[in-house]
Chain A
Amino acid sequence: MKAKAADWRAALAATPAGGIAVFQPVNAPVAVRRVARALLEEAAILGGGQVLGFPGGDLLLGNAAGPGQRAAQAMGALTGSTPPSFPLPEGQPPVAALCEAASQATAQPGWSLAGLEAHCAQWRLEDAARLTLLESGPGGVPVAQRLGPAPLGLDDPELEAMARDWVCRRILAALTHPVERARLPMLRPGLRLILDLPLGGLGHGAPLRAGAAGDPNGPIALLPLASLADPVGFAGVAEGLRQGGWTVGLLGTHPAALDAGIAPELLLAAPAGPVPPPPRPAGLIALGRPAPAWCRGAGILHEGFA
C-alpha cells in the first residue's frame, strides 16, 4: 500500500505544467468503469501520460490538456456525468485528496458463480427478502407492498439478475412453507401485494393463487423484463398467472426500460429517472426513493417522496 501511495504522489508531482488530471470515480456499473478506463488510456497515449488505478476509481495524469478534456467530455456524453478534471500543477491538492480517498476504498469482491450461488442459498432469509411500501399520489399513505429479493448491488448486471432469480425461488418456496414463511417480512393486511417472481414465473410447484381471475386490483406478479426475449414462453407464463388471479408486471433495471414501449396491458416497474419518459407508460410502478416529482401523478405507484 505504501509503495503504491508513493507511486501516485511521485507521478502527480512529475506531470508537467500544462498537464491535466481526470478522475473517474467508481460509482457505476463495471461496464462504465471499463469504458472510462479505455478512454483515459487512449488520452494517455495521444497526449502522453499514464492512467493509475485505485480501488475507488481511475486517474489520468496527462501531459497535455486537450486529450484528457476530450476523454472527460466523452464520458459525460456517454453516461450523463462528466468526471472532474483539474489543470496541473494548480490542481495538485484536490487531486491528492481524491487519490487518498480512492486508495482507501474497498473494491467490490469478484464473485465466482459457485460462490454467488452458495451465498444466495445461505443468506439469511430475513435479510435476503425485503418488503417495500409503495404510495400512490402525494398522500404519503402506503397502498401497496412489494415482497422481493434485497439487491446485492453487484457491479455486473448479469450476476445481479442470476442472484435475484435464486433468491426469488427461495422466497417463493418459503411462502408456501408453514415454518419458513415466518422468516419472511410480515405482510401488511389491506395493502395490495406486489411479488417478485423468477424468470419462469411460479414454476411447476403448487400454484400460488392470488384470487379471482380478472380482478384489476388483484396482486401483482413482477417478472424480469428479460422474460420478453421468449415471447411465446412469456405469453404462456403470463396467461397462467392471470388465470390464477394475478396482474402481470415486468421489472426493468434501469430508467431506460421505461422507453421499451411494451404492451399496455402489462404493468412496468423500473427505477424512475428525473424526467418522465416521452409517452408516459400506463400502469407504471416507479422504483427508487425519493420518487421524482413527476411520479406524483394519479395511478403511479412509487416508493414515497421523503
Chain B
Amino acid sequence: MNVPVPAEAPWDGAAALRDASALATLARDCVTSGVERRALHVRLSLVSDRLREPRHERLVREALAPMLRPTRARLYELPGGDLVALSPPPAEHLDEVRRNLSLLLPEIPAEILLPVLRLPAEAARLLTLVEAALGLEASLPVASPPRPNVPPPSMAELDGAQRALLSANLTAFLRRRGVWRLGEGDEHPQPLWTELRPHLPDLVAALLPGRDLTGHPALARRFRQAVERRMLAELAPPQEARLLGETCLPLLLGSALEAEFLRLDAALGPHGRMRLLVAVPASEWLADPGGFTLLQRLSLMRGWTLALDEVEAGLLRAWPGARLDHAMLRLRFRPEMLAADAVARASLDAALPEDRNRVILTGAETPAAIAWGWQRGITRFMGRVLEAR
C-alpha cells in the first residue's frame, strides 16, 4: 500500500505516520461507539535487520492475505516497521494467519511477536503501542546535565563582544533549516521557507570564552541582538538580498527595528518582501508593546509576514493576547503536550488561531509531533523529523 519513495526524498515517513494517526483515531472511535475489532500486531521492529529484506516483507504480507482478503480488514503500517491488521469479529482467519507468521518467523515466540488486541477493551494498549511507534519514548524529556559553575560576562566583556561583532564574519555560524508543509494527504513535505539563524552557543564560545549567558536573559538578549544586527548587515547589500528567496529570519524585536533590517527591507523590494517571514519571540511584545505594535504595522505596510516566535503552550493559555491578529504563530512542540488532559487540550486548541495555516509547529523531532499537529489541523512544521536524512 506504500508508494515507493525515490531515494532523494527528504522524508519517507508520511504514509506510516498517516497510518498511525488513522489507527489511533479508529481505536478512539471504537471506544466511543463500542464497535468491536480484533487487532493483530505484527512486531516486525523486533525482527533483526538480517531478516527484514524486501523478500521477507513480501512473505509476511502474503501470510497476512487470508485475513485481509475476504473481510473488511485493514492493514496499517507504523513508523518503525510494525504492522497492525484490524478486522471485525469473528476474525476467523486470525489464528490461521498467526500460525503462518510464526512459522515464517520462528526466532521469536508468537505471544511476543504477534500479540492480539481486542477493541474496545484494549484500546488503551493499542494507543500506547501507536504512541511508542510514533517515537514518544525517544522524545521523553531528558534532564540536562548539571552545568559547571560558569560565570556570566561582565558588562565590559559584553560591550567588547558587541564591538567585535560589528566586523565579524558570521558565514560559518549561520544555520539553515526548512519550514515545511506536510498535510495528511501529502506523500512528501513541501518546503515553504528556509530559516536562517546564527548558532548562538558557538558564537558565545568564540566571543565570550569561559562565560555563560544561560540564566541571564537580559544579557543573552543583548548578545543575540548584536549577532542578528551583524547577520542583517551581511544580508542587506542588494546583491545578497536578491539571493534570499523564501526566507524565515528569527529576530528579536530590537533587531527587526534596527537600521540594518530596514536596509534589508528596502533592498528586497516589494516582491522580495512578500517572500520574507520575520519571526519575533512573543515575549518581546511583553517587554516593549509599543515597539511591537510599530513592527506589526510596519509588516502590514511593507508586505513581509510577521510571526510570533517561541510560543509555548503555557504562554498561550496564560496570555491569549499572544494570538495577535494577522501575525503567524510558531508554536513550540513539547512531548508533554501529548500527555495533556482533555481540559488542557481544549484550552490550547481554543487559543490557537482558527486559520491553522497561520500556525507553524516547531521542534517536531519525532513523528508524534506531526501526528499531534494533524489532530488539530496544523500542517506546517519545523524539526529534525522533516530534515533530509
Contacts and interface: CB of A to CB of B under 8 A. Distances in A.
Contacts of B301: 74, 77-78
Interface stretch (A10-18, A95-103, A155-163, A203-211): A155-163
A38 B154 CA distance: 34
Nearest to A34: B259
A158 B158 contact: no
Nearest to A258: B289
Contacts of A232: 314
B294 A79 contact: yes
A130 B50 CA distance: 77
A257 interface: yes
B222 A259 contact: no
A87 B211 CA distance: 56
Nearest to B257: A31
A262 B315 CA distance: 11
B218 interface: yes
B155 A112 contact: yes
A135 interface: no
Q: Determine the main DSSP class of A at the interface with B.
A: helix
B291 A31 contact: yes
Interface stretch (A187-195, A223-231, A240-248): A223-231
A141 interface: no
Nearest to A252: B289
Contacts of A226: 283, 286-287
For A161, A228, A252, which residue has the most chain B Cβ atoms within 10 angstroms? A228
Interface in A194-226: 199, 224-226
Nearest to A116: B155
A117 B298 contact: no
A263 interface: yes
A152 interface: no
Contacts of B297: 77-78
B238 interface: no
A253 B158 contact: no
A5 interface: no
B263 interface: yes
A263 B322 CA distance: 13
Nearest to A254: B290
Contact of A113 (B159, B259, B266): B159
Interface in B267-294: 281-283, 285-294
A162 B288 contact: no
Contacts of A261: 319-321
